[in-house]
A and B are shown apart, each in its own frame.
Chain A
Amino acid sequence: MAGSAVRVPAARLEAARGWRPDEAQVATALIALLGATLVVIIALPLWSLLSKSFQDGAGAFVGLRNYLIYFSTPTLFASLLNSVWVAALSTAIVVPLAFVYAYGLTRSCMPAKGAFYAAALLPIFAPSLLSALSLIYIFGNQGFLRHWLLGASVYGPIGIVMAEVLYCFPHALLILVTALSLSDGRLYEAADALGTARRRVFWTITLPGARYGLISATIVAFTLVVTDFGIPKVIGGQFGVLATDAYKQVVGQQNFPMGAVVGMILLLPAVLAFFVDRFVQRRQVALLSSRAVPYQPKPERGRDLAFLGYAISVGGLIVATYGVAVWASFVTYWPYNLSLTLKNYVFENAEPGGWEPYRNSLAMAALAAAIGTALVFTGAYLVEKLKVFPAGRAFAQFLAMLPMAVPGLVLGLGYVFFFNAAWNPLNVFYGTLTVLVINTIAHFYTVAHITATTALKQIDPEFESVSASLKVPFWRTFSRVTVPICMPAILDIAVYMFVNALTTVSAVIFLYGSGTKLAAIAIVHMDEAGFIASAAGMGAVIMLTAIAVKLAHIALNRFVFERLQAWRKR
């Protein structure tokens, strides 16, 4: 009778019950703590921004007066129009470019798809303004191709649009590749069997199938351009846009209420995009039945060569542009003395802190990755897997999804108003690394949260039930089972946080202090002071660091998760 031999005596069970902390209470407390944290790092800063836009400089409520001033001041209103048309033009260029590229990657048999994919993703690993710096080297006053512009200046809308197209290309591409790979191969087989003409197949099957992807890519590109700060700052010249206006109002003129109004206007397209995107996502999922068969392209010489040629020119252009910036950073005196030198990397000549901003960036990115990943993953676990306190979990879920709709610049403004407020005891953190780390975590919270939630949803929901029946508290199963299983997703989150923390400019530009300037901000300052080569050098250092981290991530995935952990499914 094996079963009864080791039966735990009732008395001992009772004793065990005595010292064990109450799981439900711990869970409730943790969910409450998560909610409170998200309120502080997301909700209150946004609230500060909102309320600030209805106050005068002294903090008195003035209703819509700031908005009236905004719309009746021609220079401010002009920036709004500038932002809209520049974003519309950039989007109109980048989405078709990326669509054809994505089509080649998914629907043709062109060679070296991996390399072309990687080439197109390059801009993700650099601050947005690096593409602008590059364009200055190419088309600027000393640019070797400036005559191509037929006398027009690259400083202004032309430069902004070109740089934004480069910067947004990978973001649009990722969405379009996903949309095009979600197609059902059986539709094409059916069309083939019916002898449908090639052109008709494209217009009746391919394009409708990818239409949600196209909508999504359009919205994402438009929002990225409208809310981007780095590129117009570097290459915009006298051409005002919303993002640079917000910066000028807050940093230059200390006009916080007007900065808040610009922030609120910047919030509009992003919030709109957020809702359209969620609608589109839902439809996109419904599009693909579970029995769909992925489309497998067949080799076809002419078509494959055409797409190869296209990929070489577009992918090559991207790599070349960023390559110029890296090259120029090693050049003695562009374009007159092209001998190579390391003097531009002696940042002390261009920036009082020397290499310190880079070290700050590394520290900030490492902390944001470590703390942010722990917070996001634990938070997603509490929301997704626990049963107690449903209202608290729903509230936390809502706040976790909010940053998606908030551009970095807007969140940064909110942080200025919240963490700089005299009444706020947290204002001791203003200008410290702490506030930069918190802001970065909040800025990139949503994507990380979605990654964590997706991974958690794939785990058997009964693990919690089993451990409860075995009297093992949930936090033990969390650390012993859930975290190890989700390690690849956790690493994804950490790398995502790290890379974005390195490259972001928009949110942190308002928040750094004397000893906490970041590398991406140092680029802005060196560029302002005319040290373009050093600015490009700092950009190159950031980009190479981000790429190195990504490569390490890939290596870790290949060798640890796929080879050493035998228990993982392939």
Chain B
Amino acid sequence: MTEQPFLKIERLSKRFGAFTALKDIDLEVRRGEFVCFLGPSGCGKTTLLRAIAGLDPQDEGRIEIAGRDVSRAPPADRDFGIVFQSYALFPNLTVAQNVGYGLVNRRKGAAEIKRRVDELLALVGMPEQGRKYPIQLSGGQQQRVALARALATSPGLLLLDEPLSALDAKVRVRLRDEIRALQQRLGVTTIMVTHDQEEALTMADRIVVMNQGAIEQVGTPSDIYRAPETPFVADFVGHMTFLDAVATGPGTVRVGSLELAVTGNGALTPGEPMRLAMRPEDVRTRGIAADTPNRFDARIARIAFLGSFCRAQLSPTASPGTTISADFSTNAMRDLGIVEGETRTVAFPPDSLRVFPARESA
């Protein structure tokens, strides 16, 4: 028996005038899951989140939360908490009043509210700060308060719209881990919007990659990273080299005069033009034997130092006009003495290569 999804979206569409912001979105989210909407700015992530919240209702389609059809329900009937990039804290209320804002309306005693507020402030790592005003807090602290406020009423669904985008890099990483830990502790179903792939890859149980108002791919972070289903996903998540190729057999393609084996991409029709995608970090330089598949010699044309690793541009001897990006750790650079201008034997494992039909451009 399959579990009933907590959130179910069917054929959802939304237009702004003549512009279609969301087209035919279908999505299911399980109870307790952490899902990220990932995509470039303007692809409709916020629009989808706000439709789920009922803040900007969709034009067509159905939304079900916890088995209840809420397609036309106002936000107040949907049982969710929400956090915005701007924090949206009420500046004239103290931290405690902000956190307790949704509790006051529920005819609870002052003592009960205070206890709950203290508990929540402790939960987000800000005990004893209830009397301050938002303006006296740092951005990271304000976002914690906003999170506590959203969790105060114990909503079934937590919605986060780019909660970390306004913060400094360091704070962002810390809060990222804390939000994830908190979510797992509370078990609250969470949807987070982000345009930062690293955030999505590290936090989410599943990622929904969006592009131009449509869902490109839904999958776990490693699915999305290892097995992008479309050139868009391949290009947007991580770095990829795209090369024009031609299928030569059910599991082989040719780039220039370089013949490469690809596995896990379904059967290919020989003669069909393809796009081959390869990740720079999938390059192998050590332990390459004569029978290692996809081995070839390449000249190391250029090396850029990027901190913990170097990105080199490879130019295969068999196909000198082609350029392939390859990442070498600083260790490998030192141990193997990789330098610009030399020629080396490298390999890309067949299961690390992706091929797409040539007409789908990234």
A positions within 8 Å CB-CB of B: 1-4, 6-8, 13, 16-17, 20, 22-24, 387, 460, 462-463, 465-473, 476, 480-481, 484-485, 565-569
B92→A469 contact, CB < 8 A: no
Task: Tell me whether B91 and A567 are in contact (CB under 8 A).
Answer: yes
Select A467's contact among B54, B101, B116, beta carbons within 8 Å. Answer: B101
Q: Does B53 interact with chain A (Cβ within 8 Å)?
A: yes
Knowing A2-B119, A8-B153, say if A462 contacts B101 (CB, 8 Å).
no
In the complex, B135 has a CB within 8 A of chain A: yes
B34 at the interface (CB under 8 A from A): no
Report the separation of the CA atoms of residues A462 and B102 in the bound assembly, to the nearest whole angstrom: 15
CB-CB under 8 A from A465, the residues of chain B are 50, 53, 55, 75, 82, 84, 88
> In the complex, how many angstroms separate the beta carbon of B58 from the nearest chain A beta carbon?
14
Q: What residues of chain B lie closer than 8 Å to A481, measured between beta carbons?
A: 90, 92-93
Chain B interface mostly: mixed
Cα distance A24–B150 in the bound complex, in angstroms: 22
B105, closest chain A residue (CB): A472
CB of B74 within 8 A of chain A?
A: yes
Contact present for A17 and B185 (CB under 8 Å): no
**A-B pairs with the 6 shortest C-beta distances?**
A470-B102, A3-B186, A468-B75, A462-B88, A567-B133, A7-B154
Between A and B, 16 residue pairs with Cβ closer than 8 Å are: A23-B74, A23-B76, A463-B90, A465-B75, A465-B88, A469-B53, A469-B75, A469-B76, A469-B155, A470-B152, A472-B101, A472-B104, A473-B76, A480-B90, A481-B93, A569-B135
Q: Given A23-B74, A469-B75, A485-B91 in contact, is the A3-B154 Cβ separation under 8 Å?
A: yes
B81 on interface, CB distance cutoff 8 Å: yes
Q: Would you call B213 an interface residue if the criterion is a C-beta within 8 Å of the partner chain's C-beta atoms?
A: no
A177 to B244, CA, bound (A): 63
Q: Check B74–A24 contact: CB distance below 8 A.
A: yes
A566: B residues at CB distance < 8 A = 133, 135-136
Shortest distance in angstroms between B118's beta carbon and chain A's nearest beta carbon? 10
**B74:A468 contact, CB within 8 angstroms:** yes
Please classify how large the interface on chain B is, using the bins under 10, 10 to 19, 20 to 34, 35 or more.
35 or more
> A24-B74, A462-B88, A469-B53 given as contacts; is B134 within 8 A of A567 (CB)?
yes
Contact of A6 among B78, B79, B104, B154 (CB under 8 A): B154
Asked whether, in the complex, the Cβ of B76 is within 8 Å of the Cβ of A4, the reply is no
B151 in the interface (beta carbon within 8 A)? yes
Q: Which residues of A contact B75 (CB under 8 A)?
A: 465, 468-469
Interchain nearest-CB distance for A242 vs B (Å): 45
For B59-89 the 0/1 string (1 means CB < 8 A from A) is: 0000000000000001111111110101010
- What 0/1 readout, one digit per residue, does chain B (147-163) give for beta carbons within 8 Å of chain A? 00111111100010000
B133, A463: Cβ atoms closer than 8 Å: no
Bound-complex Cα distance A14 to B84 (A): 27
**Cβ 8 A contact of A469, one of B82, B135, B188:** B82
Query: In the complex, which residue of chain B has the Cβ closest to the Cβ of A466?
Result: B88
Cβ contact of A3, chosen from B92, B135, B159, B187, cutoff 8 A: B187
Interface centre among A23, A387, A470, A569 (most CB of B within 10 A): A470
User: Are A8 and B154 within 8 A (Cβ)?
Assistant: yes
CB atoms of B76 and A471 under 8 A apart: yes
Q: A3-B188, A4-B186, A472-B102 are in contact. List 15 more A-B contacts (CB 8 A).
A: A2-B120, A3-B151, A8-B154, A460-B88, A465-B88, A468-B76, A469-B155, A470-B81, A470-B152, A470-B153, A471-B153, A472-B104, A476-B105, A484-B92, A569-B91
- Which residues does chain B contribute within 8 Å of A23, judged by CB atoms? 74, 76
Which residues B132-182 have CB closer than 8 A to chain A? Answer: 133-136, 149-155, 159
Interface: B106 (CB within 8 A) = yes
Partner of B84, one of A6, A462, A569: A462
Please give me the residue from chain A that is nearest to B120 by CB atom: A2
A460 and B154 in contact, given A2-B120, A468-B75, A485-B91 (Cβ under 8 angstroms): no
Bound-state Cα–Cα, A3 to B81, Å: 12
A180 CA / B116 CA spacing, docked (Å): 54
Complex CA gap A367/B237 in Å reads: 63
CB distance from B182 to the nearest CB of A (A): 9
Cβ–Cβ < 8 Å partners of B81 in chain A:
469-470
Closest to A470 in B: B102
Contact status of A470 and B53, CB under 8 A, knowing A3-B154, A485-B92: no
